[in-house]
Structure 1
Amino acid sequence: MAGPLKSLKVLDFSTLLPGPYATMLLADMGAEVLRIEAPDRVDLTKVMPPFDGKFSTAFSYLTRGKDTLQLNLKKEGAADKVKELVKDYDIVVEQFRPGVMGRLGIGYETLREINPGLIYCAITGYGQTGPYKDRAGHDINYLSIAGVSSHCGRADSGPPPMGIQIADVAGGSHHAVMGILAAVIERQQTGKGQFVDISMTDAAFALNAMSGAACLAGGVEQKPEGGMLNGGSFYDYYQTSDGRWLSVGSLEPQFSARLCDALGLPEMKSQALSQKPDDQKQLKTAIQERVREKTLVEWQEIFAGQDACVEPVLTISEAAEHPQLKARGMVIEVDRGDGEMQRQSGNPIKFV
């Protein structure tokens, strides 16, 4: 694809989600990406239902815009092939446990001797150092270790299994792209490449953001439903009469006033501004009682003309048809490899 990264070439040794998502973003922005695929080791995303055509929908999505080279890295001559390739590439992305690429004869120290400008990004669960560096893990584990899960969910039911892979994507993939592009800028100044060490647990820990700041500097440990933004205030989800959900984020005074008016609760405007738990609890109860009186569509019609930070909870298929996401080109059609077109999520980064 044409794009601002069209001068960059990426060798992608990653599988599953974090690395492939990161290199997909790079490809979307114009980078030339070559996937190194093991012919004798199946990428789980390739065989994970549902399927559309020959491959799974996840695999088709994560490999878009990339070329593929099948290469068994354990076979004689494979390392030599990689060493020859790396002479002409800017970036290597890999997702093995620490030391694996080195044992295969194509670790960072070896490849940087061939290409001093090489930017080498390793994405792992726990990073290249520390007592957990060789430990297995998945998204749910990284979020748990990083403290994220401890203040998500409801007080009486504990942390929920998230609907998206937060540590993998928001942590690993996005931070990898940021690190890689920062290294590209550094190389433009010095001509030197570097090793980018991305830990999905580190990234998830950083995602704690405001709750992390409150704990580390202020000594305030956030609990589920214990803060303004995690269920401790009227900033929450409310069930409608038809079993759907409405999101209410009307925190600022002008928004909460409009919310109370639209719900027929003008007498509760002062409670919306109160920090007292009892006031917030009473307001939440009142909002839920009112929201339950109408269907989601009815509430959408009521709040359509209201600038009150109230929106419906949509399914993915509904979101794909939302006029805002359609206007932003967030659903695209891509050739799935057999001449048939497949709908996919578009790149969220726009260049105008």
Structure 2
Amino acid sequence: MTNSDPHSGAATPGSRLPLDGVRVLDLSSNAPGPFCTMVLADLGADIVVVDRPPVASELGAQVSIPNAQVDGLARPHFDAFARNKRRIGVNIKKDGGADIIRSLAARSDVVLIEMRPGKAEAAGIGYSDLSALNRGLIYCSITGFGQNGPYRNRPGHDVNYLGYSGALSLFARRDAVPPPPPNMIADYGAAGLLAATSILAALQARHVTGEGQFVDISMLDATTYLLAEWMSTTFDPMGDPTVLADYPPYDVYTCGDGRLITVGCVEPRFWTTLCEVIERPELVALAGDVTRRTELRTELQRTFERKTVTEWLDLLDPHDLPVGAVNSLDELEDDPQIQARDMVTTLSSEHGPVRQVGIGPKLSATPGSIRRLGVPLGADSDEILDELGYSAATVGQLRGAGTVFG
């Protein structure tokens, strides 16, 4: 993908990438880790993913998890998490497997790992093991609950961390059970991005100290961190952290064509203008009456059913109001703002056109880029082992022993 527009986030041929020269050893396999290294890879880091031997899915054929070590990444070129990365297949339980990991760590700037506390140490690839080989190593561990505390060894998924943090309660209308959202919050928006930010901070600190460090990312911590504003209003006796969870001027309504429209008219000037433009000025006063919120929501729903979502947006947009359509993922690439920002991009490949999410960070001088589509598990094993100094004969022995694959 090439583009000279400084706002597109696309690199021009030969341009420098902000993380050129940074080597990351990715030992993760589940959502936050691969997302974190996708961000770093898009910005130029050399990501070496250590693939585990593929296993059958425990979740059933109806469930698909991007980049999980399931069924061998049969279509890796469609997997955005796999792009811009090199892959080596290593069975750490086989003879020589841990040695390969240690050799890779010795030449890396960053190690990213997802294992419950104590597991990496038991395998000989804990922080103390690897930092002894590389004093500048930044070792980032992503776990559900962190390295300490009574929950440290519990399993968990996005919905569990949302529940413990209190975030899930904010999705519910009053007296209702909150629906679990997709795993984009704790996994990606919280832990994945916090890990990437923390790694970059640790790299900057190393410029000053010359020393690496251990980075402890808890998915529960990360989700709780997102709640800074809501926690502030909770701890303030005058605050109400649920004010927008059951507030008709901040809601979603069904239009006459069955499509949805989002309304975010929280500020009085927006709310007043909305009511005037939809020809319901009598609704202005109802926003502040908690006892009439059900009535207000019902009236707004009846009103929005009078037109299609396109008709409403054509009417409302000229009045500078925070309203918008709810796109399906199939509709996303046709949205003119998404197009303008190159947030859905089409890439050519031997498999034909491949669509993926674009580059999120937009850096004007050193933008990120998609330089390589995902490859199968262990596709770069020989190349990476050659860089480590392994002879062809040794690699053949490791393959024969099942230590290396791909």
Indicate whether the TM-score tops 0.5: yes
Match of 2:327 among 314, 324, 331: 314
Match of 2:296 among 283, 307, 310: 283
1:242 aligns with 2:260: no
Equivalent residue number for residue 356 of structure 2: 344
Equivalent residue number for residue 94 of structure 2: 75
Per-residue deviation, 1:281: 4.4
Q: Tell me, yes or no, if the aligned pair for 1:320 and 1:326 is still in contact at 8 Å.
A: yes
Say how many residue pairs are matched. Answer: 343
In structure 2, relative to structure 1, the CA distance for the partners of 1:170 and 1:50 (3 Å cut) is: closer
Larger RCO: Structure 1 or Structure 2 (Cα < 8 Å, ≥ 6 residues apart)?
A: 2
Q: Tell me, yes or no, if the aligned pair for 1:234 and 1:281 is still in contact at 8 Å.
A: no
Query: Quick one: distance in 2 between partners of 1:188 and 1:39?
Result: 36
1:151 aligns with 2:170: yes
Query: Quick one: distance in 2 between partners of 1:230 and 1:209?
Result: 16
Query: Quick one: distance in 2 between partners of 1:49 and 1:271?
Result: 45
Within a 5 Å distance, the mapping from 1:198-217 to structure 2 comes to: 198-217=217-236
Q: Tell me, yes or no, if the aligned pair for 2:77 and 2:354 is still in contact at 8 Å.
A: no
Unaligned runs of 5+ in 1: none
Equivalent residue number for residue 255 of structure 1: 270
Q: Tell me, yes or no, if the aligned pair for 2:167 and 2:224 is still in contact at 8 Å.
A: yes
User: Is the partner of 1:350 in helix, strand or coil?
Assistant: coil
Q: TM-score, normalised by structure 1?
A: 0.90
Q: In structure 2, what residue type is equivalent to 1:136? A: P
Q: Tell me, yes or no, if the aligned pair for 2:264 and 2:322 is still in contact at 8 Å.
A: yes
Q: Tell me, yes or no, if the aligned pair for 2:275 and 2:283 is still in contact at 8 Å.
A: yes
User: Is the partner of 2:319 in helix, strand or coil?
Assistant: coil
User: Is the partner of 2:216 in helix, strand or coil?
Assistant: strand
Q: Tell me, yes or no, if the aligned pair for 1:50 and 1:56 is still in contact at 8 Å.
A: no
1:196 aligns with 2:215: yes
Query: Quick one: distance in 2 between partners of 1:76 and 1:40?
Result: 18
Q: TM-score, normalised by structure 2?
A: 0.78
Q: Tell me, yes or no, if the aligned pair for 2:159 and 2:183 is still in contact at 8 Å.
A: no
CA RMSD after TM alignment? 2.5
Match of 1:6 among 16, 20, 24: 20
Deviation per CA, 1:78-107: give whole Å up to 9, x if none: 222222222221000011111111111111
Q: Tell me, yes or no, if the aligned pair for 1:333 and 1:344 is still in contact at 8 Å.
A: yes
Match of 2:41 among 24, 27, 30: 27
Match of 1:107 among 118, 126, 136: 126
Q: In structure 2, what residue type is equivalent to 1:306? A: H
User: Is the partner of 1:35 in helix, strand or coil?
Assistant: strand
